[in-house]
């Protein structure tokens, strides 16, 4: 049953449980923020963040990834060593950018007077702390990379390609279960969307 589920779904059952829990958590969060005084601003912020990621951030870091791959490919002959080197740069860089994305109002000193009046704290230390944390991430990654280089980067084993097996005909219980799951997911999405719209209208945006 587990092998059949993995064949039909494409991953282990734990993946489906994690995705379902994430969707339910997101739906719960969307429903709860309609209870805030001005949920319309939060809704606009979510849409703008999604569009900003898909239209600006995704093409930008995809371009940077291609440039880094080309430069590393010319500098490092072995593909395994190239991937190893890139991973030890991308991971600390990604964590540093994530911290910048979360705390950029404090790091870039956006409205420091309002933050001081609300929390009683200054925003001055955040830039230095972010720089120190970023430097520490790159330092730890560099030390780990040096230690791994001492052991040597293993070459990936070449596995002979096998012709893909012809997929078996899916039995009707699996087709019916898949349709029930898709229909239930669609109804849940429609319910969350309808509740979100109703909550926004009732609160007057």
Displacement of CA 175 from its chain's centroid (Å): 31
Query: What mean pLDDT is predicted for residues 82-102?
Result: 87
Give whichever of 19-28, 68-77, 139-148 has the largest mean pLDDT.
139-148
Question: Cα separation of 61 and 68, whole Å?
Answer: 10
Query: What mean pLDDT is predicted for residues 136-164?
Result: 74
Question: Cα separation of 123 and 107, whole Å?
Answer: 7
Q: Between 193 and 95, where is the model more confident?
A: 95
What's the pLDDT score for residue 56?
A: 84
Q: Vertex 102, ends 123 and 41: CA angle to 5°?
A: 95
Give tens-digit pLDDT for 159-190: 555 555 555 555 666 666 666 666 666 666 66
* Ramachandran area for residue 81 (φ above 0: left; ψ -120 to 50: alpha; else beta): alpha
Checking if the pLDDT of 104 tops 80, the result is yes
Which residues are CB-contacts of 37 (< 8 A; sequence separation ≥ 6)? 203
Evaluate whether 69 touches 63 at the Cβ level (below 8 Å).
Answer: no
Checking if the pLDDT of 115 tops 90, the result is no
State the average pLDDT for the chain: 76
Give tens-digit pLDDT for 35-73: 777 777 777 777 877 788 788 888 887 888 888 878 777
Burial 156-194 (b: 16+ CB within 10 A, else e): eeeeeeeeeeeeeeeeeeeeeeeeeeeeeeeeeeeebee
Question: Cα separation of 140 and 132, whole Å?
Answer: 12
Number of H helices, E strands in the chain: 8, 0
What's the pLDDT score for residue 172?
A: 63
Checking if the pLDDT of 17 tops 60, the result is yes
Checking if the pLDDT of 152 tops 80, the result is no
Which residues are CB-contacts of 70 (< 8 A; sequence separation ≥ 6)? none
Checking if the pLDDT of 133 tops 90, the result is yes
Domain positions in the chain: 1-50+176-205, 79-152
What's the pLDDT score for residue 96?
A: 93
Structure tokens at 58: 């995704």
CA–CA distances in Å: residue 201 to residues 33, 44, 179, 194: 13, 14, 33, 11
Q: Between 130 and 152, where is the model more confident?
A: 130
Q: Between 195 and 130, where is the model more confident?
A: 130
């Amino acid at each position: 049953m587990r092998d059949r589920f993995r064949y039909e779904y494409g991953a282990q059952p734990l993946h489906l449980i994690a995705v379902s829990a994430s969707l339910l958590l997101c739906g719960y969060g969307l429903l709860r923020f309609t209870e805030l005084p001005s949920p319309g601003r939060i809704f606009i912020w979510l849409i703008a963040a999604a569009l900003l990621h898909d239209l600006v951030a995704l093409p930008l870091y995809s371009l940077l990834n291609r440039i880094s791959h080309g430069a590393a490919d010319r500098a490092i002959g072995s593909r395994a060593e190239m991937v190893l080197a890139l991973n030890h740069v991308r991971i600390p860089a990604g964590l540093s950018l994530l911290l910048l994305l979360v705390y950029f109002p404090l790091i870039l000193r956006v409205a420091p007077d309002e933050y001081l009046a609300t929390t009683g704290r200054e925003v001055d230390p955040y830039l230095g702390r972010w720089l120190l944390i970023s430097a520490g991430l790159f330092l730890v990654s560099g030390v780990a990379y040096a230690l791994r280089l001492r052991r040597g980067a293993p070459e990936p084993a070449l596995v002979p390609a096998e012709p893909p097996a012809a997929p078996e005909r899916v039995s009707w219980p699996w087709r019916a279960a898949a349709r029930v799951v898709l229909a239930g997911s669609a109804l849940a999405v429609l319910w969350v969307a309808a509740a979100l719209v109703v909550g926004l209208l009732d609160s007057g945006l």
